[in-house]
Amino acid sequence: MAKRTIDKVDVKGKKVLMRVDFNVPIKDGRITDDRRIREALPSIESVLARGGRLILMSHLGRPEGKGFEPAFTLEPCAKRLGEMLGAKAGGGVKFPSHDCIDGAATASVGMMSDGECLLLDNLRFHKAEQKGDPVFAAKLAAYGDVYCNNAFGTCHRPDASMVGVPKAMAGKPRVCGSLVEKEIRFLSAAVTDPKKPFAVILGGAKVSDKLPAIEFLLPKAQHIIIGGAMAYTFLKAQGKGVGASRVEEDQLETAKRILAEAKSKGCALHLPVDHVCAEKFEESAAPKTVKGEIPAGLMGLDIGPETVAAYSAAVLAAKTVVWNGPMGVFEWANFAAGTKALASALVKATQSGAITIVGGGDSAAAAEEFGVADKLSHVSTGGGASLEMLSGKKFESVELLDNA
């Protein structure tokens, strides 16, 4: 169901409490990838341009929850956001305190003027955030006249800022930002009414991680394409030799069941027919292409060229493609070719009119690394959240928002 968006709310003179996902990588006090901040900009700029008083809140990393920890402060994010906004921020992004609910933070919120922006420090400096504590949520809720969820990456979590705050703000506008609206629009459409043929690419290490998505999407998809280490569990379940490749032994019966279900439902489940292997799981290991079964002493670390060709053909024939999980150890040059080739196939499919969606996490990182992210229909900012949405799950954090 479509949700009301922040651009449909009159924010002039009102305090807008916006949950964002500024959980960005920081090294030596410097942000190394600001994509999540960039993705949040449209709604941030919209509120400021229309005279709203914008209070941003986020988490960063995994502090212990016992108060301020310098390694996890959001202060670099305030600085970077200020640089992005420039004059639009009306004097820069305020960062009043290293505690999101102390007197300094509360006083700064109370003194805000129209068009100003303020970022609270890491919500997870308080254990109450991840516990969904209603008292903590009420303190945050007191800051706002309007609640806006613009943090898709944490929509699947029952944290105080995601669920407790909108509950505490019942009766006030509770809306989503453009980022969350876009994620819901693409991901929900992909699982509810995809244009056919519908192809799903699933990779990564574990069948168990992707099992809910496989079971939910299998009846809807015409093609399920399996890569990454999880492919070797399926191949072993078929009785094929996989050498020293990673296998989830406790998922072999599940893999057999999925293979049988795919066959009964007329869904083509694709598995690798050749592999790029190595003797050791090391970046410098010499790659060796093996067709068919993998001999003892070798482990599969990427899909081979024949598999790339078959997988690419399935992608190019599809009208909707969802990709979640790399085809191999794409971070290492010797074992990146399969993932890179699939990324290129998705670009070509997009150019041919297909809807192409990357479901966050390592897939999004690969799309960025290979320079294709801006050439696809949608790249999700949420790893766990996108995978759960692709598994058909509903999020309380979204259900609490006003309908359009």
Looking at the annotation, which residues are catalytic? 36, 206, 361, 384
| Per-residue H/E/C for the chain | CCECEHHHCCCCCCEEEEEECCCCCEECCEECCCHHHHHHHHHHHHHHHCCCEEEEECCCCCCCCECCCHHHCCHHHHHHHHHHHHHHHCCCEECCCCCCCCHHHHHHHHCCCCCCEEECCCHHHEHHHHHCCHHHHHHHHCCCCEEEEECHHHCCCCCHHHHHHHHHCCCCCEEECHHHHHHHHHHHHHHHCCCCCEEEEECCCCHHHHHHHHHHHCCCCCEEEECCCHHHHHHHHCCCCECCCCCCHHHHHHHHHHHHHHHHHCCEEECCCEEEEECCCCCCCCCEEEECCECCCCEEEEECHHHHHHHHHHHHCCCEEEEECCCCCCCCHHHCHHHHHHHHHHHHHHHCCCEEEECCHHHHHHHHHCCCHHHCCEECCCHHHHHHHHCCCCCHHHHCCCEC
Q: How many CA atoms lie within 13 A of 294 on its CB side?
A: 29
- Residue of 173, 147, 171, 172 lying closest to 160 (CA atoms): 147
For residues 293 and 243, give the distance between their C-alpha atoms in angstroms, rounded to a whole number.
8
Is there a contact between 55 and 120 (Cβ–Cβ < 8 Å)? yes
Residues, the chain:
404
- Do strands 93-94 and 117-119 pair parallel, antiparallel, or not at all (unpaired)? parallel
